[in-house]
């Protein structure tokens, strides 16, 4: 069966550590991935490395072995830090390895808010217990805790922890302003924070802590990825969004989101069919068959009258979806009802 050759794996990992020569690490990393025929994305910075790569099982296990023996990461990175899921090199269009200022783009200089000031790490088991306690207290309307999803809206839309606060933000770089604008929400609260693989929480929790308003800040070690390995049917419902051509991986059969057009349960993203739009859209097969393949009417229109532009001009277009969304949403605490019972 031809597909079997494709059954490899996708790895997700990060390591915060001091990198004296990011350019050199970048070149080494690129050569390593090419040698193992891995595709994916790797970000290198003076604060560490963050990557997601796909290839055959042989290649990914060799990759882990080499990474663990690399002197830079030797005492920091361990086997546990690699999250894996079924996939392969076909999950990414190509290999991109580059040097950046931050290994996760929060948009704040690592010298100003360092990963060293991070929150308290909880294992999936500890996090599970905390969420359980939080949900039972919240259902009685007496919780001093906020379960905070620090991912983007299109990630939390298709899967999230029950009773979470999921900011309606488009990029992680809006997270700091989100915190600034909503400090009241976090005042004197215990915050339980989570993201896909744990990396956004490292800087996100450090940023939240720097504001000195929360009672305590906790974060899920290894992210949703590790949580689902332990609790596939736990308090996380729906799919886990991933940043590759799969868009989502599944641990339980729940579908928590709906088709944009007809409202039937649907959680498989496609890119908006309008040429320059990079929005993801939830549109079910029957709506797609009717030609409803864009993220909103504005884009649907544009697609019908495909304008002849000077070639090479790829504009990220504004449409209803991008215009209607405030960059930084303000939470109205008093009216916020938790769907804790759901």
Q: Which residues are catalytic?
A: 195
Distance CA 165, CA 96 (A): 33
Structure tokens, 22: 């990011």
Q: Given strand 190-194, what is the order of strands in its sheet?
A: 120-122, 216-220, 190-194, 145-149
Ramachandran angles phi, psi of 235, nearest 5°:
-90, -5
Phi first, then psi, for residue 18 (nearest 5°) are -80, 120
The answer to whether 54 and 244 are in contact (CB under 8 A) is yes
Q: Are strands 83-87 and 8-16 parallel, antiparallel or unpaired?
A: antiparallel
In whole angstroms, what is the distance from residue 99 CA to residue 50 CA? 11
Residues 6+ apart with CB under 8 A from 277: 271, 294, 295, 299, 302, 316, 317, 319
Give strand ranges (E) for the chain: 8-16, 39-45, 48-55, 83-87, 95-99, 120-122, 145-149, 159-161, 190-194, 216-220, 236-238, 240-241, 248-249, 269-271, 280-282
3-state secondary structure of 192: strand
């Amino acid at each position: 069966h031809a597909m079997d050759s494709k059954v490899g794996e996708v790895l997700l990992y990060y390591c915060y550590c001091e990198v004296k020569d990011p350019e050199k690490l970048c070149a080494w990393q690129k050569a390593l991935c090419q040698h193992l025929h891995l595709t994916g994305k790797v970000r290198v910075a003076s604060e560490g490395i963050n990557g997601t790569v796909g290839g055959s099982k042989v290649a990914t296990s060799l990759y882990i072995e080499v990474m663990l023996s690399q002197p830079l990461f030797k005492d920091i990175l361990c086997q546990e830090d690699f999250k894996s899921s079924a996939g392969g090199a076909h999950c990414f269009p190509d290999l991109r390895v580059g040097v950046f200022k931050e290994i996760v783009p929060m948009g704040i200089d690592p010298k100003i808010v360092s990963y060293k000031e991070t929150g308290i790490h909880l294992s999936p088991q500890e996090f599970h217990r905390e969420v359980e306690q939080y949900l039972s207290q919240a259902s009685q309307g007496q919780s001093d805790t906020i379960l905070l999803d620090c991912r983007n809206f299109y990630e939390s839309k298709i899967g999230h922890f029950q009773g979470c606060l999921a900011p309606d933000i488009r990029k992680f770089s809006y997270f700091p302003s989100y915190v600034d604008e909503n400090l009241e929400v976090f005042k004197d609260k215990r915050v339980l924070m989570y993201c896909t693989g744990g990396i956004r929480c490292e800087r996100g929790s450090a940023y939240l802590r720097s504001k000195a308003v929360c009672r305590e800040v906790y974060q899920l070690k290894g992210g949703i990825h590790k949580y689902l390995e332990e609790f596939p049917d736990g308090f996380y419902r729906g799919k886990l969004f991933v940043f590759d051509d799969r868009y989502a991986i599944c641990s339980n059969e729940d579908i928590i989101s709906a088709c944009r057009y007809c409202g039937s349960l649907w959680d498989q993203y496609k890119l908006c069919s309008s040429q320059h739009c990079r929005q993801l859209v939830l549109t079910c097969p029957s709506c797609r068959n009717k030609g409803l393949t864009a993220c909103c009417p504005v884009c649907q229109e544009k697609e019908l009258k495909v304008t002849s532009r000077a070639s090479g001009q790829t504009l990220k277009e504004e449409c209803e979806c991008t215009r209607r969304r405030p960059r930084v949403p303000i939470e109205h605490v008093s009216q916020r009802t938790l769907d804790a019972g759901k």
